[in-house]
Chain A
Amino acid sequence: MTVLTSTVDPTASECVANREAMLGKLAEVDAEHAEAVAGGGEKYVARHHDRGKLLARERIELLLDPDSPFLELSPLAAWGSDYTVGGSLVTGVGIVEGVECVVIASDPTVRGGSTNPWTAQKTYRAADIAAQNRLPVINLVESGGADLPTQKEIFIPGGRIFRDLTRSSASRVPTIALVFGNSTAGGAYLPGMSDYVVMVKERAKVFLGGPPLVTMATGEESDDESLGGAEMHSRTSGLADYLAVDEQDAIRIGRSIVRRLNWRKQGPGPVTPYAEPRYDAEDLLGIVPTDLRTPFDPREVIARVVDGSDFDEFKPLYGPSLVTGWATLHGYPVGVLANAQGVLFSEESQKAAQFIQLANQVDTPLVFLHNTTGYMVGRDYEQGGIIKHGAMMINAVSNSRVPHLSVLMGASYGAGHYGMCGRAYDPRFLFAWPSAKSAVMGPQQLAGVLSIVARQSAAAAGREFDEAGDAAMREAVENQIEAESLPMFLSGRLYDDGIIDPRDTRTVLGMCLSVVHNGPISGAGGFGVFRM
């Protein structure tokens, strides 16, 4: 047991400035979250309510256990696109009758809840989380189907939505659809592929083709109810297993279904009781410098995230730019990898590769706390084998089979993003602090590289180099890369699962750890060939 000692002075001017900057960014994130929560806006929300219907989040709140936590996923999907922030869908991990479930609710106030490319991406991500963590899926359905003008981006890849549902079922993880309204055409396969289907009387409408299409196809005259009403599906087609008298009733039935799943988590439970950190999470706002070129000690973060601020550091004297060590978080054992000085050298890479293997050896989940500018470049380092050492780390992280959780605290640049289990390396969850930035390299470096290349090209061609043009180019590129490396942009593209308040890090990781333990926790039996 090694209790970390903190040297953070929250009253120091630097901390205060950092805190102010972080609070400013959080306010921006909050404003975007509010945008997502507002859905289709006042008018459509009012219209929806006037129809006696509940909003997506109202349905979710009723579905969840009272006073239980809910981790909304990808809330800023579609940020920076032409579509409404949130992607006309609410997804998240919540607790229903004591069972952690993935909840997917279409937001009918946004273009009738229709599926646009971002809606699809967000659905895929939720399905991945359900599959990787062995979580039952509850779909709260009321969607106008595909956004037809963008069908080219949805139709072909979107087939996986239904595939995922039945694969979940096949892997003995139940799926439930509560149908509150439209679920037609392709959308009909949401209930169609689910294990349990509840339909709301006089509201659910589930058919492959509506009356006009049927008329066009066969000349048959029909109506909504006979083609796809809840009563019909409950009494005649058998597609609905339960007929709900209203939305609340559908949710009540949905909860009772989950209660009867006899759900048992396959991973070990947390060790209780556990101690809260000794240091105030509030300090986390002041730890990350406003300029990411200034490093910070990740132990100050670890001391505010892990149980009892108790952290047994592994190999503390070797490769000190990467902190590795063991702790528990909400009672779950974890191995932590956290960047300390930004740069990953050969020593850090080898240390990480070893540490990851150790965690796999004893089935311990890993937490990656990112603040890296990447692997070191330069003659000495290349000659020292930085590529093969970095590759060892990436090999280890790629083939590790224990659950990984990634948090982007600050920089996450270059191959360092890969080695620290970036998005492409399938961490079970990946969240960003508002202070995070992620790109192939820093904006200035990138613009500078472009400038140098252009200057060399001009020199080679004997052209006169346009300094003014170069300066303008550098500024434009810098601005663009800066904008595209910010968390809101990345979150909008679903490169993370959400931007979190640093003070919530322990809660978010605690919830994720509980979630990952729905499946078995089992380390890798082997890795790729380590290049020595």
Chain B
Amino acid sequence: MIRKLLVANRGEIARRVFRSCRDAGIGTVAVFSDADADAVHSREADAAVRLPGSTPSETYLRPDLLLDAAAAAGADAVHPGYGFLSEDADFARGVEAAGLTWVGPPPSVIAAMGSKIEAKRLMADAGVPVLPELDPDAVTATDMPVLVKASAGGGGRGMRVVRALAELPGEVEAARAEAASAFGDPAVFCEPYLERGRHIEVQVLADAHGTVWAVGERECSIQRRHQKVVEETPSPLVDAPMREALFDAARAAARAIGYVGAGTVEFLAAEGGLDGSTLQAGLTADGSTLQAGLTRFFFLEANTRLQVEHPVTECVTGLDLVALQLRVAEGAPLVSGDASYSSRNHSQGHAIEARLYAEDPAHDWRPQSGMLHRFAVPGVDAEFAVPPAYGVRLDSGVEDGSVVGVQYDAMLAKIIAWAPTRQEAARRLATVLAGARIHGLVTNRDLLVRVLRHPAFLVGDTDTAFLDRHGPAALADPLAGKEIESLSALAAALADAAANRAAARAGGGLPSGWRNVASQPQVKRYGEMEVRYRIDRDGLHAEDHPDVTLVESAPQRVVLDVAGVRHRFEVAAYPGLVCVDSPLGPVSLEPVPRLPDPSAQLPAGSLLAPMPGTVVRVAVSPGDAVTEGQPLLWLEAMKMEHRIAAPSDGVVAELPVAPGQQVDVGAVLAVVDAGTA
């Protein structure tokens, strides 16, 4: 029996595991990097051990430190969560060698599945349908498009879609270099790329006594850059015969590798058959294709860990997958009566998960960092657990005041709606997301809501190209349009007025902005918007909103009557930020100081960091003459290098950064003085 479990992870998954531990009476140990010293997961555990440093390689990716932490805290088991070392066979071996219980499949299974090339071979041998592997050197024009994949890759990293043959050699080279640096293994391979493929996976559970369950399938086709964004179960694509075939394949796959624990077998499905000739040829030659109606599916990879999207399965099945992981790790058999979970009959309703990321879909998915002033999701029925009835589940790694850094994955939380039908789940999830109070960071929330309300999504037309086809820019359009933004700015101004009155040291009881001789309105600026209003005995006079009357205003709450309809606005003010939430849509505003301090203003020609990152190289020195477009320095963020170039001819007046320096978004990187050119 496990007494005390260390979770070698952070954020929401650490909290998720802790929840099941608490339910089981198992003690909990957290680890935390310096960046996570105040993170909620580190405070929630019974004990927490510091991992000095902030980067993953200094902390959560250090098996030695993790094992030391387990020993120091007296843990007798380790749960790896997902990501980090969760699929690292050496770590799993290290845990077992230290005499601790490893909550996961045997290290040998992890190793076998760690190589995608190897895994495909194993699966093909076991009769599981696979996509043909193409030799990068033998690919022809008729094979296009192809997907270049790193054998050791994961989470979408190291994947490249190539549509023109001429580009293939270069892309393969680049993929090799990236794979070598990211995973320490340069092996890459090619597969036919299915433009409208659908990502379907099957959750399996296996014990050490030969029982293998296929618990249910999930569809995770809504992806951005091969990163899942919206996941659901059951899949709208999968019908009963296909499900049976999928489950059979998943069980076969698990058995073939001697799987133990919770795992996921991922498949790529293509609706209505395939049209790539190579693909057809490959399948024919392979001879192991399973067909279910017109839809074929192919093994992609097996994930030897708990998936991010496991909550949807938990909702519809009522299972606690982490609890079952723990039981299996303790050597207990899966209770036989539960074997029926391999059948659809025992799952109830439909569950959809949305991953909330601190990233800006409108700007190339730039990761965001900074203070999350407020994070609240009204309407949540359960956290880290299945709601008692149909409802909303929240698995979150953040709370009010959390600081989101650049070192780790930008996922803030997962929000899951479970409802009798897919349409109801989508509606509920969209509404809950739209009403969530998320202050301080740009997120993909609006995009998630638009996806969940999209007609194509609602009819189940959800392939992996969904976001590209419907346009990330359009999908990321703010839920609150210009008119709502303007109305929200008015609400913000009136809340500010109420706050000013409440805080006034003198005359606080007098009417807001009272004048015996009125000459002009009160003016407040938010970004590009200017709110001009006056309050007198006849009420509110807002210049751009003649049909708006003020029903009530308080520092955090304003009710406006707009042409006879009352709307409620919740207003939260932070330094440099005002957030207005209403059923009309969330709005973030940047208040512009009435009287800016000239010394705080940036000199002309200032170059600001477009995103948080690390300065990798600096090509110039202060005093250097530069020409327009000349690269000055490079910033690395999210594994990409961004070139910072001179905006005009001139002289480098200031260069306050050095290679290796971490910078926040908006930090001044350089100042080019055009006047002295």
Contacts and interface: CB of A to CB of B under 8 A. Distances in A.
Interface of A: 33, 36-37, 57-58, 61-62, 65-72, 75, 95, 98-100, 245-246, 248-249, 251-252, 255, 265, 270, 272, 274, 281-282, 330-331, 498, 500-501, 503-504, 507-508, 510-511, 514
Contacts of A70: 514-516
B520 A61 contact: yes
A457 B239 CA distance: 121
A62 B497 contact: no
A33 B517 contact: yes
B11 to A, nearest CB: 40
A496 to B, nearest CB: 12
A136 to B, nearest CB: 12
Contacts of B57: none
Contacts of A99: 505-506
Nearest to B499: A67
A272 B497 CA distance: 20
26 contacts: A33-B517, A37-B517, A37-B519, A58-B520, A61-B519, A61-B522, A67-B512, A67-B513, A68-B500, A69-B514, A70-B516, A71-B516, A72-B516, A99-B506, A100-B506, A100-B507, A245-B598, A248-B596, A251-B595, A252-B597, A270-B509, A272-B509, A507-B510, A508-B516, A511-B507, A511-B510
Contacts of B514: 69-70, 504, 507, 511
Interface in B492-547: 496-497, 500-501, 504-507, 509-517, 519-520, 522-524, 537
A316 B269 CA distance: 94
A61 to B, nearest CB: 6
Contacts of A72: 515-517
B497 A66 contact: yes
Contacts of A514: 506-507
B469 interface: no
Interface in B555-612: 594-598
Given A98-B505, A249-B598, A507-B511, A66 B517 contact: no
Nearest to B510: A69
Nearest to B595: A252
Interface string B470-488: 0000000000000000000
Q: For the complex, would chain B's binding face be called helix, strand, loop or mixed by DSSP majority?
A: loop
A385 B526 CA distance: 69
B500 A65 contact: yes
Contact of B509 (A58, A249, A252, A330): A330
A65 B501 CA distance: 10
Contacts, number: 98
A57 B515 CA distance: 12
B522 A36 contact: no
B596 A67 contact: no
A79 B265 CA distance: 89
Nearest to B503: A98
A66 B522 contact: yes
Nearest to A272: B509
Contacts of A68: 500, 504, 507, 513
Given A95-B506, A281-B537, 17 more contacts: A36-B517, A61-B522, A65-B504, A66-B496, A67-B496, A68-B507, A71-B516, A95-B505, A95-B507, A100-B507, A249-B598, A252-B597, A498-B516, A504-B516, A507-B510, A507-B514, A511-B507
Given A75-B517, A98-B505, A330-B510, A66 B524 contact: yes
A155 to B, nearest CB: 30
A330 B504 CA distance: 14
B511 A69 contact: yes
Nearest to B535: A67
A57 B516 contact: no
Contacts of B510: 69, 330, 507, 510-511
B105 to A, nearest CB: 62
A510 B595 contact: no
Contact of A57 (B504, B520, B522, B523): B520
Nearest to A263: B505
B16 to A, nearest CB: 46
Contacts of B596: 248, 252
A252 B598 CA distance: 10
A248 B595 contact: yes
B515 A98 contact: no
A157 B104 CA distance: 95
A67 B520 contact: no
B509 A67 contact: no
B442 to A, nearest CB: 28
A69 B513 contact: yes
B634 to A, nearest CB: 35
Q: Which of B516, B523, B595 has the most CB of A within 10 A?
A: B516
Task: List 9 tightest A-B contacts by C-beta distance, closest first.
Answer: A98-B505, A252-B595, A69-B514, A67-B497, A67-B500, A57-B519, A72-B517, A69-B510, A37-B519
Nearest to A100: B506
A272 B510 CA distance: 13
Contacts of B505: 95, 98-99
A245 to B, nearest CB: 5
A75 B597 CA distance: 32
B502 to A, nearest CB: 10
B523 to A, nearest CB: 8
A67 B595 contact: no
A373 B517 CA distance: 30
A341 to B, nearest CB: 30
B504 A98 contact: yes
Contacts of A98: 504-506
Contacts of B524: 66
Nearest to B598: A245
A249 B500 contact: no
Contacts of B523: 61
User: Which has the most chain B C-beta neighbours within 10 Å: A57, A265, A331?
Assistant: A57
B626 to A, nearest CB: 28
A524 to B, nearest CB: 26
A399 to B, nearest CB: 29
A36 B519 CA distance: 10
Nearest to B511: A507
A270 B508 CA distance: 11
